[in-house]
């Protein structure tokens, strides 16, 4: 038996009847884009996150691009983020016309180092994009303080962290904007692409609504060059059904992570949850010497693993112009391995992953 790294079929199968009813409702409604499903989902998501406004968009990357553009980010501006993220983070900054500047990370939480952030902020810095990587909430208090002191904006990349909490609030509600993705592998995944922008600011919300729809005002006159980036009715209808289950799925993710931590914590370094925060475990990431050998040995024992991410963003040829010395990031990307973790895994699956990892690490050595 193979334990896949990720499988969305079980979740969708279990919801098949409601998903098919939602499909029928959209077919019968005749409204495919920017209708009732979209506005209901926006209201439900805003309430769940704890933000005044939620604006549905086509994907998480667009959520970041639109947020940055709404804050006035322009060519020549610098935007600070981390290099151990999805390519989408750097792509969004460049699509907004800005230059990505990479801050190093902390070796335990694997999130932005607030001290290095201070070092890279300069006169051209317009915004910070902290990434709540793997579902671990970034320490927002020092980041927000630095942003306030420097007078710059914050756009949270919460694409992996729906529901993660720090300081008693869900991530996405600290910055000027919070951005979410509903790519099928995410903790809240559509049956296609989708994304969401949240904000408490009425004016910024209005601006983001215009930007996702050609810059249109109510009379369909464009005052600014907007985009076409809308969350369609079908995905919104599916996501409403899934949002109602999300708390339960997060609890199951945390339960699996707890079992992994309890049974593997002594034999392998794990990503540390940010103190005082609630990690939602989009991914469960460990660090091993001799990563390739570990992954092959796991595979031989029937467990698929993945790597998020194998190279820093500034080592992708497209972003090599933005390289900077990042000693912690560089060390971590050689060692990180993601173990399977999704709410539909059975306890037997979890035990099988633990058993395989322990056998590989203890029995066969680390192949360092
Ligand atoms: C998935 C992801 C995105 C982009 O989301 P898409 O919906 O795929 O465009 C951005 N940032 C991070 C950290 C992500 O994991």
Question: Distance from the CA of 29 to the center of ligand 1, in angstroms?
Answer: 30
Contacts of 232 (CB under 8 A, 6+ apart): 32, 33, 38, 192, 194
136 C-beta closer than 6 A to ligand 1: no
Q: In degrees, to the nearest 5, what angle opens at C-alpha 209 toward C-alphas 206 and 215? A: 100
pTM: 0.97
Question: Distance from the CA of 129 to the center of ligand 1, in angstroms?
Answer: 13
**Phi, psi (degrees; rounded to nearest 5) at 356:** -65, -45
Contacts of 293 (CB under 8 A, 6+ apart): 366, 367
- Three-state DSSP at 335 gives coil
Burial class of residue 248, CB neighbours in 10 A (0-12, 13-18, 19+): exposed
159 C-beta closer than 6 A to ligand 1: yes
**Tens of pLDDT, residue by residue, the chain (368 residues):** 899 999 999 999 999 999 999 999 999 999 999 999 999 999 999 999 999 999 999 999 999 999 999 999 999 999 999 999 999 999 999 999 999 999 999 999 999 999 999 999 999 999 999 999 999 999 999 999 999 999 999 999 999 999 999 999 999 999 999 999 999 999 999 999 999 999 999 999 999 999 999 999 999 999 999 999 999 999 999 999 999 999 999 999 999 999 999 999 999 999 999 999 999 999 999 999 999 999 999 999 999 999 999 999 999 999 999 999 999 999 999 999 999 999 999 999 999 999 999 999 987 544 44
Beta-ladder partners of 199: 53
**Joined tokens for residue 254:** 């945390």
**Joined tokens for residue 354:** 């633990």
88 C-beta closer than 6 A to ligand 1: yes
Predicted pLDDT at 46: 98
Question: Distance from the CA of 314 to the center of ligand 1, in angstroms?
Answer: 17
Predicted pLDDT at 366: 46
**Would residue 151 be called left, alpha or beta, if left means φ above 0 and alpha means ψ between -120 and 50 degrees?**
left
Predicted pLDDT at 340: 98
Closest C-alpha to ligand 1, atom 6: 60
User: How far apart (Å, rounded) are the C-alpha atoms in residues 145 and 155?
Assistant: 14
235 close to 182: Cβ distance less than 8 angstroms: yes
Q: Please write the tens of the pLDDT for every residue from 23-51.
A: 999 999 999 999 999 999 999 999 999 99
195 C-beta closer than 6 A to ligand 1: yes
131 C-beta closer than 6 A to ligand 1: yes
26 close to 207: Cβ distance less than 8 angstroms: no
Atom of ligand 1 lying closest to residue 131 CA: 13
160 C-beta closer than 6 A to ligand 1: yes
Element of type H or E holding 127: strand 125-128
User: How far apart (Å, rounded) are the C-alpha atoms in residues 143 and 335?
Assistant: 27
Alpha helices by DSSP H, listed for 179-333, are 202-211, 233-243, 246-264, 291-300, 327-332
Q: In what order do the strands lie in the sheet with 277-278?
A: 169-170, 165-166, 277-278
User: How far apart (Å, rounded) are the C-alpha atoms in residues 93 and 64?
Assistant: 8
Predicted pLDDT at 368: 43
Atom of ligand 1 lying closest to residue 62 CA: 9
């Amino acid at each position: 038996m193979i334990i896949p790294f990720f499988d969305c079929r079980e979740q969708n199968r279990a919801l098949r009847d409601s998903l098919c009813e939602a499909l029928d409702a959209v077919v019968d409604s005749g409204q495919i884009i920017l209708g009732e499903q979209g506005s209901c989902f926006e209201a439900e998501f805003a309430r769940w996150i704890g933000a005044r406004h939620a604006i549905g968009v086509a994907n998480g990357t667009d959520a970041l691009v639109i947020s940055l553009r709404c804050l006035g980010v322009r060519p020549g501006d610098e935007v600070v983020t981390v290099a151990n993220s999805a390519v989408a983070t750097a792509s969004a900054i460049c699509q907004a016309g800005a230059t990505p500047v990479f801050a190093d990370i902390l070796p335990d939480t694997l999130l932005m180092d607030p001290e290095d952030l201070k070092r890279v902020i300069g006169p051209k810095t317009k915004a910070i994009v902290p990434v709540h990587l793997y579902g671990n909430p970034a320490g927002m208090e020092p980041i927000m303080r630095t942003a306030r002191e420097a007078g710059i904006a914050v756009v949270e990349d919460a694409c992996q962290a729906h529901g993660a909490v720090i300081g008693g609030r869900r991530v996405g509600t600290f910055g000027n904007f919070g951005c979410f993705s509903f790519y099928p592998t995410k903790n809240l995944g559509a049956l296609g692409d989708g994304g969401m922008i949240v904000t408490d600011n009425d004016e910024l919300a209005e601006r983001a609504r215009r930007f996702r729809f050609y810059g249109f005002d109510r009379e369909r006159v464009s005052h600014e060059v907007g985009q076409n980036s809308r969350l369609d009715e079908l995905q919104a209808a599916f996501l409403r059904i899934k949002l109602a289950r999300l708390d339960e799925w997060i609890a199951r993710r945390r339960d699996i992570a707890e079992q992994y931590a309890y049974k593997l914590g002594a034999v392998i370094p794990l990503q540390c949850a940010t103190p005082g925060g609630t990690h939602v475990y989009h991914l469960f990431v460990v660090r091993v010497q001799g990563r390739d050998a570990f992954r092959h040995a796991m595979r031989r024992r029937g467990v698929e693993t993945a790597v998020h991410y194998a190279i820093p963003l500034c080592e992708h040829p497209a972003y090599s112009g933005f390289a900077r010395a990042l000693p912690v990031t560089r060390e971590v990307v050689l060692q990180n391995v993601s173990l399977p973790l999704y709410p539909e895994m059975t306890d037997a699956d979890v035990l099988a992953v633990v058993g395989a990892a322990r056998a590989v690490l203890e029995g066969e050595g680390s192949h360092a």
